[in-house]
Amino acid sequence: MLSQLSSNDRLRLMKFVCSFAWADLEIQPEERAFIARLIRGLDLERGEEIQIHRWLDLPPAPEGLDPTTIPVEHRRFFVEAVEGVIASDGHISPEERESLAVFKKLLSD
């Protein structure tokens, strides 16, 4: 599935994943490890990897995080990646659960 994403969509995916990792205001080591595995599976340029690591230090700005702009054919993969990052630490906080519910609702509209 990763190979089907354009360069822009791969970076957009990682922006969403990083923003969800920040949903409870703290990124756990397990979430960092999950994100590192995703990075390895993507064909990213060095500058894009650097940007993702910046998003792990500070949450991405909300601009560009409109779920309705995700291509319909990729929405399931985005949801799975987001679910993976928030579940990676073995605990889904109320903030993460609520953010995921809103994300899924926006994608289904």
Q: What is the pLDDT of residues 50-98, one digit of tens each?
A: 999 999 999 999 887 999 999 999 999 999 999 999 999 998 989 899 9
Residues spanned by the domain of 8: 2-108
CATH number, domain containing residue 6: 1.10.3680.10
Q: What is the pLDDT of residue 1?
A: 62
Domain count for the chain, please give it: 1
**61, 69 Cβ separation under 8 angstroms:** no
pLDDT at residue 36, as a whole number: 95
- Phi, psi values for residue 68, rounded to 5°: -70, -15
pTM for the whole thing?
Answer: 0.91
* Cα–Cα dist 78/65, whole Å: 12
